[in-house]
Chain A
Amino acid sequence: MSKPFGVLLASHVEELAFGVYKLLKESATNTPLTYAGGTDEGNIGSSFDKIMQAVEENEADHIYAFYDLGSAKMTLEMVSEMCDKSIEIVDCAFIEGAFTASVLINGGNEKEAIDKQLTPLKIK
């Protein structure tokens, strides 16, 4: 059964994406959580295919997507324009933003409450 909200992590580094995933999973055990890190070859960068897969594997109806740097965001945008899932790219501090969203989703909060707590974490 699908859930209303989930979190996606997109990082330039595979271990970084997985590390943040681990951190969030400890507290947000029931939040749909997927991640994509590094290029197809496992080098530093962004992978369209990996991000697309993380979107498809995320069981939420609406995905909050967090990123670390430049191309992770632009690649997220490309993916979001080319698939029909509802994806919200959030310009927040990567770890703190993703953590905040994950635990609020885990606690069954409404979108309004989630968005309100993310607002002060916006970095641009």
Chain B
Amino acid sequence: MKLTGKQTRAWLLNFSAKIQEKKQDLNDLDQAIGDGDHGSNMARGVHAVEEAIKNENHTPASEILKKAAMAMVSKVGGASGPLYGTAFLEMAKVIDTEELPTVLAAGLDGVKKRSKADADEKTMADMWAPVVKALQEKKLTKDVINESVEATKELKATKGRASYLNEGSIGHLDPGSVSSSYLFFALLEEVDVNE
């Protein structure tokens, strides 16, 4: 399936609502292995996303994503800003013409390009990779998303703030992977992804 502008907008607004609801949880997760600002950063970002797209009812999906990307890049203030921003920008390049799995694969490439993270470095990329794979196989479910997040727990961070803790990062969820799970839960709620 291909996403319309309307679906893309609904997806991002749903994501925003989830982030705002979980702001404190995300801050708490980040406090354990980072600097405690991931929820506040993301909440600031998605608020700006909402402002940027709320009146865009007839805009192509690519334009919606570009606006969302710039809002994240400008307002988040932490590493997750450029990471989500680059993911959205890469998705914007293909969303008007390609099927959903290809779009999210482009997003994952964006995350990797910005973070330079390989697999198992305990970053958002570790959460996105299995989700994109499941989507390509038309097998994306809530369980897949939950498992992808849980899998970050046992990893040792070798990128980002948590990497300074070395072994100390093991046993904690990666905050950026948790916020990413809300992006995919929102997607499942808004569209029939395995169609």
Q: Is the CB of A47 within 8 A of B160?
A: no
Q: In the complex the two chains form, what is the Cα distance from A114 to B164 in whole Å?
A: 30
Which residues of B51-81 have CB atoms within 8 Å of chain A's CB atoms? 73-75, 77-79, 81
- Which of chain A's residues have a CB closer than 8 A to the CB of B37? 44-45
Q: Which of A43, A69, A78 contacts B77 (CB 8 A)?
A: A43
Which residues of B68-97 have CB atoms within 8 Å of chain A's CB atoms? 73-75, 77-79, 81-83, 85-86
Q: Is the CB of A39 within 8 A of B114?
A: no
The chain A residue sitting closest to B70, CB to CB, is A48
- Interface size on A (CB < 8 Å)? 16
Flag whether A102 is at the interface (Cβ < 8 A): no
- Which of chain B's residues have a CB closer than 8 A to the CB of A78? 73, 82, 85-86
Q: Which of A40, A49, A77 contacts B82 (CB 8 A)?
A: A77
Q: In the complex the two chains form, what is the Cα distance from A45 to B136 in whole Å?
A: 36
Q: In the complex the two chains form, what is the Cα distance from A69 to B37 in whole Å?
A: 15
- Assess A71 versus B79: contact at CB under 8 Å? Given A44-B35, A45-B37: yes
Q: Is the CB of B74 within 8 A of A70?
A: no
* Closest chain B CB from A123 CB (angstroms): 13
Flag whether B181 is at the interface (Cβ < 8 A): no
Flag whether A31 is at the interface (Cβ < 8 A): no
Q: In the complex the two chains form, what is the Cα distance from A49 to B37 in whole Å?
A: 20
Q: Which of B78, B83, B114, B161 contacts A46 (CB 8 A)?
A: B78
9 new A-B contacts, CB < 8 A, other than A74-B82, A78-B82, are: A45-B41, A45-B78, A46-B77, A48-B81, A69-B161, A71-B79, A77-B114, A78-B73, A78-B86
Binding site for A on B (CB under 8 A): 35, 37, 41, 73-75, 77-79, 81-83, 85-86, 114-115, 160-161
Binding site for B on A (CB under 8 A): 39-40, 43-49, 69-71, 74-75, 77-78
